[in-house]
Amino acid sequence: MEKTKNIVYILAGIFLVSLFLGCVGTKETKLEPRADGKALYDYITVGNNYKTWKMWPGTGEMYPRSTEKPSEPHGVFLTTYVSDNAYSDIVAKKGILPDESIIVKENYDADKKLAALTVMYKEKGYDPEHNDWFWVKYQPNGTIDAQGKVKGCIDCHDLPKDMFKDKSNDYIWSGDLS
Ligand code: HEC
């Protein structure tokens, strides 16, 4: 009888310790940007809310999409937020954006209703052939429609090289980086 009691105590002890470790574990999980749609969404909405970032230099909220560029897929009105590291290199005309750059584009329809979030995130070594960009498209509730080395995104974002004097403009359409 005594033996069974001891076993019960030990099991209860293990259970409590694992609960405790579990809690500590979750608390220590820091939200970091990563080339993973879910992790990146948590980072840009909770860890470092993109709504607090600066907008692409010279743009404001819900500007009409450019008619000189093939921007139909992005909807009618756009708001474009950029992470601080990207913002400074855009302004400094560095020609290329730094690792860990994040660009979040809100895509609105003709009624100014949010239709999608399209995001570019640069992770060192992720896709060296295409300047390491990770591409992702979210529905307004965060559901992922496409993510990764998305061919459609890459192919169209490869075109700015024809428009800007730099050879690639780092797959960026919104403005000349150099
Ligand atoms: C048919 C062409 C086309 C496709 C496909 C496309 N984009 Fe874009 N994208 C553009 C254009 C053009 C702009 C600039 C819009 C403007 O200034 O009016 C842009 C802007 C952006 C920006 C702001 C940074 C920049 O490059 O200017 C992000 C972020 C972005 N797109 C992400 C994506 C993602 C993610 C996908 C795929 C799910 C995608 N795009 C697919 C044409 C495209």
Interval 22-43: pLDDT, tens: 555 554 568 999 999 999 999 9
Is any ligand 1 atom within 6 A of the Cβ of residue 122? no
CA of 153 to the centre of ligand 1 (A): 7
More confidently predicted of 75 and 161: 75
Q: How many residues does the chain have?
A: 178
Is any ligand 1 atom within 6 A of the Cβ of residue 83? no
Report whether pLDDT(97) > 90.
yes
User: What's the whole-number mean pLDDT along residues 77-106?
Assistant: 97
Place of tokens 């960026």: 172
Is any ligand 1 atom within 6 A of the Cβ of residue 135? yes
CA of 37 to the centre of ligand 1 (A): 17
Residue 146: pLDDT band with limits 50, 70, 90: very high
The whole-angstrom separation of Cα 136 and Cα 148 is: 6
Number of Cβ atoms within 10 Å of the Cβ of 72: 9
pLDDT at 163: 84
Mean pLDDT value across the chain: 89
pLDDT at 168: 77
